[in-house]
Amino acid sequence: MSHVKIAVFPVAGLGTRFLPATKSIPKEMLPVVDRPLIEYAVEEARAAGIEEFVFVTSASKRAIEDHFGAAPELERQLRTARKTAALDAVSRSRLPEGSSTFLRQDNPRGLGHAVSLAARLVGDRPFAVLLPDDVIDAPGGCLRQMVAAHAETGGHMVATMTVDREATRAYGVLDVTERAGRIFHARGLVEKPAPEAAPSREAVVGRYILDPAIFRRLATLRPGAGGEIQLTDAISADCENLPVSGFGFDGARYDCGSVAGYLEANLAFALSRPELTGGTLDMMARHLARHQTRGAA
């Protein structure tokens, strides 16, 4: 039984790296193979025992709400046409009635600000935060692995992965005091450090289990890197009063907030689908050969 029952999905960002695709479509609705990014995150949360889903959205993101609701007309047509697989896919994506809440973040003032808007709904409970642009392929799901570890550590826990020193400038990085298996006990976090100043190579990726004390911290936090209210700053400031740890999950993470990472996720997930593996490999071989011929010419 999971002790974490509620999850927050911040999806109010502008998605500028995917313009013009994201001019009228939320980034979180871009598909990896045939499922939107947001569905991977919601599935992962459900596998971890989450029962309440809070989406922090913005004005242009109605499609996300529609995706998780019922689609009676579409379902009726698919049933009549006996398109069972398509009907299953549509019904599977629906969240139980009354389990989801959609909050508006009118100005994207940062991830920390987006999370702070869920304070009243979360109340005095530990809660998860999932960033759908990080798609994580992990046995049982990354969040499920974290929930089991968090039952031992309590406090704030962030998912981490080891990166090259040069790459630390793109991530929040843990200041590690001690390692116990997959758990990294930490005394702080530094947002996007220069490689020579990075306290470790353990980089934060988009999964968190947070103590509700984070809301008091976020309420008084000043804007940090990029002029935004940074979630990592709030977690780091809480190190004085709470255990803070990283969890080196077992799995592969794809940065679908970047175009290159998004393309890789599509390839990896296509290759893992038996009905698509052969065709994808053929396609890759063809393109590789064409690319090499062009290079040699």
Write out the residues near ligand UTP by the rule CB under 6 A: 10-17, 27, 56, 105, 108-111, 113-114, 131-133, 257
**How far apart (Å, rounded) are the C-alpha atoms in residues 206 and 7?**
13
Q: Which is nearer to ligand UTP, 172 or 188 (CB)?
A: 172
Smallest gap from Cβ 80 to ligand UTP, in A, equals 37
Strand partners, 207: 130
In the bound complex, what is the minimum distance in angstroms from residue 151's beta carbon to ligand UTP? 26
Q: Which pair of tokens denotes residue 25?
A: 């479509």
Give the nearest distance from C-beta 277 to ligand UTP in angstroms. Answer: 30
CA-nearest of 249, 163, 236, 167 to 201 is: 163
Cβ 281 to ligand UTP, closest distance in Å?
31
Q: Which residues of 154-182 are buried (b: 16+ CB within 10 A; e: fewer)?
A: ebbbbbbbebeeeebeebbbbbbeeeeee
Q: Quick one: 105 or 200, whose CB is closer to ligand UTP?
A: 105
Nearer to ligand UTP, 65 or 282 (CB): 65
- Using CB positions, name the residue nearest to ligand UTP: 13
Reduce the DSSP state of residue 60 to 3 states and report it: coil
For the chain, give the number of residues.
297
Q: Please give the structure tokens belonging to residue 153.
A: 């550590």
First and final CA of the chain: distance in angstroms?
61
186 closest CA partner among 151, 231, 236: 236
Judged by beta carbon, residue 29 or residue 149, the one nearer ligand UTP is 29
User: Minimal distance in Å, beta carbon 186 to ligand UTP?
Assistant: 21
For ligand UTP, the closer of residues 48 and 205 by Cβ is 205
Burial (Cβ within 10 Å: 0-12, 13-18, ≥19) of residue 223: middle
Minimum separation from the CB atom of position 152 to ligand UTP (A): 28
Cβ-based nearer residue to ligand UTP, 103 or 239 = 103
Residues 6+ apart with CB under 8 A from 156: 208, 209, 210, 211, 214, 235, 238, 242, 243, 244, 245
| Minimum distance from residue 84 beta carbon to ligand UTP (Å) | 33
Tell me whether residue 176 or residue 218 sits nearer to ligand UTP (CB atom).
218
